[in-house]
């Protein structure tokens, strides 16, 4: 089996998993965008020898299928970076929520004490 | 001019697993409160796994902010500042739970704020010769920050990592909105410097910790230096 076909098969399975996850509500639509774009581009690169060869020609790559690794890796990096940013944002929101919750809890306890 | 008594001062005591020292610290602070009735004490329990919160709860005069999750020193102190902002305190003082800080120096760090000499006043161990002597490694770290901050601000901060500091209302508002998360003390100096606010150091006495253990283990200290250096440099890069 050619590596391009293997690559296509993996990307196709990934695509199905992504779409299925969105359908079941496990993955939010906005987060699926980057994955779907990745799948589509990788699928095109894998299936079309012409496209792969042309791009390899532009970039002076002697063995075109190695481009698949390059793009795969770049997308993985992109998605990881996107994730780290989202985690940072979540972290900030979690901190804020915890602090506000704690201050409100203190207020509630103070009120309870006053009523007693 | 406002009289001293008309000021509202909040002492913020961040505490993480401090059951060994917190009682003594609170007793000392409550003793001081007898002479300075305008002072309120607020302990921020940063998700301790020991009896810290229960001990604090037994002190009725003390405000307890009981964080359900450990947020780290930055998040904990900021909770105190948020409380101070919400209840319109004029001054907030950060005070360590482990007994290192001297409660008798409280007025020393508050006075420059009341007199309007600065926006933040840091209690420093090294402005004058005091009894304090940390490990050589620790002192090296402190010299390193002094040097780094001097390079970036052209001002001398002899004790950038000191957690004994008082801030005025303007800075309380600022910190309630934005405060660095882990090991924030040196970073905050650059943050305020960037906002063109005045920072003053004043000599205080500090003791060795009275119980519990430092959040900075030798193992973590290399990471600490690296992380703080990076965040200080990042502060320099941030554009208004």
If phi > 0 it is left, if psi is from -120 to 50 it is alpha, else beta; for residue B55 that is: alpha
Residues of B in contact with A100 (CB under 8 A): 82
At A19 the pLDDT is 93
> Rounded to the nearest 5 degrees, what angle is found at the Cα of B95, between the Cα atoms of B186 and A91?
55
> Rounded to the nearest 5 degrees, what angle is found at the Cα of B222, between the Cα atoms of B219 and B223?
95
Confidence of residue B35 (pLDDT cuts 50, 70, 90): confident
> Which range (A13-17, B34-38, B53-57) has the least confidence?
B34-38
Find tokens 């010769």 and name the residue: B129
Confidence of residue B141 (pLDDT cuts 50, 70, 90): confident
Confidence of residue A18 (pLDDT cuts 50, 70, 90): very high
A103 touching B (Cβ < 8 Å): yes
A102 touching B (Cβ < 8 Å): yes
At B2 the pLDDT is 67
Confidence of residue B240 (pLDDT cuts 50, 70, 90): low
Q: How far apart are CA B144 and CA B139, in angstroms?
A: 8
A101 touching B (Cβ < 8 Å): yes
* Mean pLDDT of chain B, nearest integer: 86
Q: What is the pLDDT of residues A36-68, one digit of tens each?
A: 998 998 898 888 888 888 888 899 988 888 888
Q: Which of B48, B54, B75 would best serve as a mutation to test chain A binding (most A beta carbons within 10 A)?
A: B75
Q: Report the b/e string of B166-201 with b at 16+ CB within 10 A.
A: bbbbebbebbbeebbbbbbbbbbbbbbbeeebebbb
Residues of A in contact with B83 (CB under 8 A): 103, 106
Q: Are B153 and B190 in contact (CB under 8 A)?
A: yes
> Which range (A27-36, B123-132, B182-191) has the least confidence?
B123-132
Which two structure tokens, joined as six digits, stand for B48? Answer: 């301790």
End-to-end CA distance of chain A: 78
Confidence of residue B239 (pLDDT cuts 50, 70, 90): low
User: What is the 8-class DSSP label of residue A63?
Assistant: S
- The reply to whether residue A103 touches residue B181, judged by beta carbons under 8 angstroms, is no
Residues of B in contact with A104 (CB under 8 A): none
Q: Where is B183: in which H helix or E strand?
A: none
Residue B1 pLDDT greater than 60, yes or no: no
Q: Where is B65: in which H helix or E strand?
A: strand B63-67
Q: Are B14 and B88 in contact (CB under 8 A)?
A: no
A96 touching B (Cβ < 8 Å): no
Residue B121 pLDDT greater than 80, yes or no: yes
At B9 the pLDDT is 93
């Amino acid at each position: 089996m050619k590596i391009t076909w293997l690559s296509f098969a993996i990307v196709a399975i990934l695509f199905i998993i992504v779409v299925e996850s969105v359908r079941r509500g496990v993955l939010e639509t906005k987060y699926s965008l980057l994955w779907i774009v990745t799948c589509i581009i990788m699928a095109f690169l894998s299936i079309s020898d012409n496209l792969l060869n042309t791009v390899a020609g532009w970039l002076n790559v002697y063995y075109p299928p190695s481009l698949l690794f390059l793009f795969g890796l770049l997308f993985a990096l992109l998605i990881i970076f996107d994730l780290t940013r989202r985690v940072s944002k979540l972290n900030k929101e979690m901190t804020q929520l915890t602090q506000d919750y704690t201050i409100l809890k203190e207020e509630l306890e103070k009120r309870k004490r006053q009523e007693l | 001019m406002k009289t001293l008594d008309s000021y509202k001062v909040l002492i913020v005591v961040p505490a993480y697993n401090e059951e060994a020292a917190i009682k003594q610290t609170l007793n000392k602070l409550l003793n001081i409160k007898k002479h300075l009735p305008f002072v309120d004490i607020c302990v921020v329990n940063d998700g301790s796994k020991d009896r810290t919160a229960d001990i604090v709860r037994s002190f009725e005069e003390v405000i307890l902010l009981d964080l359900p999750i450990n947020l780290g020193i930055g998040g904990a102190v900021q909770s105190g500042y948020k409380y101070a902002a919400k209840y319109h305190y004029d001054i907030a003082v950060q005070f360590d739970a482990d007994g290192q800080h001297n409660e008798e120096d409280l007025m020393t760090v508050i006075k420059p704020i009341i007199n309007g000499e600065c926006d933040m006043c840091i209690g420093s161990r090294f402005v004058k010769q005091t009894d304090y002597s940390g490990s050589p490694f620790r002192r090296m770290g402190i010299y390193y920050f002094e040097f780094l901050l001097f390079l970036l601000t052209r001002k001398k901060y002899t004790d950038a990592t000191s957690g004994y500091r008082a801030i005025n209302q303007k800075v309380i508002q600022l910190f309630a909105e934005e405060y660095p998360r882990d090991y924030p003390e040196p970073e905050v100096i650059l943050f305020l410097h960037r906002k063109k606010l005045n920072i003053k150091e004043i000599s205080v006495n500090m003791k060795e910790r009275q119980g519990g253990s430092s959040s900075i283990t030798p193992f973590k200290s290399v990471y600490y230096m690296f992380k703080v250096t990076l965040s200080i440099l990042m502060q320099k890069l941030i554009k208004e």
